[in-house]
Amino acid sequence: MLNHIPIAQLMSRNVARIAPEEPLVLAYRRVREEGISCLMVMRGAELAGIITERDLVNHIDYLIDQDNLNLAHLGRVCDVMSRHLVAVMDTDGLQTALDKCMEKAIRHLPVLNAAGDLVGVVTQTDLVRAYSHILAQQLSLASDNERLKALSLLDPLMGIGNRRAMERDLKHTAAGSDRRHLPYGVALLDIDWFKRYNDHYGHQLGDEALKAVATAIGRTLRAGDRLYRYGGEELMLLLPETDLEGAVSAAERARNAVLALSIEHDKSPLGVLSLSAGAAAGADRDWQALVSAADEALYDAKHNGRNCVHAMAAHD
Ligand SMILES: Nc1nc2c(ncn2[C@@H]2O[C@H](COP(=O)(O)OP(=O)(O)OP(=O)(O)O)[C@@H](O)[C@H]2O)c(=O)[nH]1
């Protein structure tokens, strides 16, 4: 992946050159005055060596230690330059150049073309900067993907899991429950007379009511329980490691939470918004059977006065 970026894109073509016989003082002055960190030592058109700022400092330090620093007799470029050149090709990739820098602990790489001519220089800093840039791009791409994935599982109105998330989690819970021989529960929750609510108060207020209902039910959940939008004005509770009694009581908590909101509903006999629920539980790998049982229980609740919870054990 990193080798998709050729060194030609990263190198500097503005290469400072010096002849090997030149005095070191000249190399030192050029490094200082031109603000460069290395000079390519050229014998005619041929690359003979490289001399870096650090080579110069090390040499001067050495002479100071020897008590032998005489600027007039500092020596020549060829006395100090490094002849063991590690170069890269302009067509090499970023990874190859980075590997060479790391392996040989060098900071400047001359860049040659296919004909062997010096065409540029690339520094370790250039390479690390390019590498960090790519890494940052990949990280932001990865987090964008994560965010998109999370969004694709969320219902935008209610801010809870959508049907896709529900099916994914149901499969997972059903498989775990089957393995551990522990029951899990589901409860389908359906707002009563919601068509009348919409018709009377308008779709906008209908949406507001749905949001308030989802939030109120969300507050009743125990750790590990999940709430999803099953579709329309219908929600579903997924209750891992829960038997039928537990599923009924979770559905009752949800029903009571909605009643406690006291959302006015003039077209319901109760005068406030309410919900009916169907609960089911079992250790069945076939989660669809459990959801069907909850649906049957919900049907019973709707036909037995609404604002109540009915239960159904899963059919074996
Ligand atoms: N405002 C709003 N209404 C919705 C949304 N999704 C579904 N609905 C409405 O919910 C209503 C559901 O109506 P029905 O299925 O007839 O059920 P009901 O009127 O609640 O009657 P019972 O369930 O039998 O008590 C329909 O009017 C849908 O348009 C939504 O996202 N926003």
Q: For 229-278, write each residue's pLDDT tens digit.
A: 999 999 999 999 999 999 999 999 999 999 999 999 999 999 999 999 99
Distance, CA of 193 to CA of 268 (rounded, Å): 6
- To the query of whether residue 22 is one of the catalytic residues in this protein, the response is no
Cα 46 to Cα 49, 87, 127, 139, 311: the distances in Å are 9, 13, 25, 43, 89
Within 6 Å (CB) of ligand 1, which residues are found? 157, 190-196, 198, 203, 206-207, 210, 232-233, 302, 306
Token code pair at residue 18: 């010096």
Answer with the one of 151, 171, 188 that is the final residue of a domain: 151
Are 13 and 119 a contacting pair, CB within 8 Å?
Answer: yes
Q: For 115-165, write each residue's pLDDT tens digit.
A: 999 999 999 999 999 999 988 988 998 888 888 888 889 998 999 999 999
Task: Say how many Å lie between the CA of residue 177 and the centre of ligand 1.
Answer: 33
Answer with the one of 151, 183, 209 that is the final residue of a domain: 151
Q: 186 and 136, same structural domain?
A: no
Q: 205 and 143, same structural domain?
A: no
Distance, CA of 13 to CA of 121 (rounded, Å): 7
Q: Does any domain span residue 157?
A: no
Answer with the one of 63, 81, 99 that is the final residue of a domain: 81
Task: Say how many Å lie between the CA of residue 282 and the centre of ligand 1.
Answer: 29
Nearest CA to ligand 1 atom 12: 195
Q: Does any domain span residue 111?
A: yes
Closest CA to 273 of 254, 245, 301, 251: 254
Q: Does any domain span residue 73?
A: yes
Q: 178 and 266, same structural domain?
A: yes
Number of domains within the chain: 3
Out of 162, 188, 191, 195, mutate this one to test ligand 1's pocket (max ligand atoms within 8 Å of CB): namely: 195
Q: For 22-63, write each residue's pLDDT tens digit.
A: 999 999 999 999 988 899 999 999 999 999 998 999 898 888
Reported as a pLDDT band with limits 50, 70 and 90, residue 1 is: low
Strands 271-272, 38-43: pairing is unpaired
Nearest CA to ligand 1 atom 21: 193
Q: What is the ipTM of this complex?
A: 0.96
Tell me the pTM: 0.65
Q: For 298-315, write each residue's pLDDT tens digit.
A: 999 999 999 999 998 765
Residue 214: domain span: 163-312
Task: Say how many Å lie between the CA of residue 46 and the centre of ligand 1.
Answer: 83
Per-residue model confidence (pLDDT) at position 315: 54
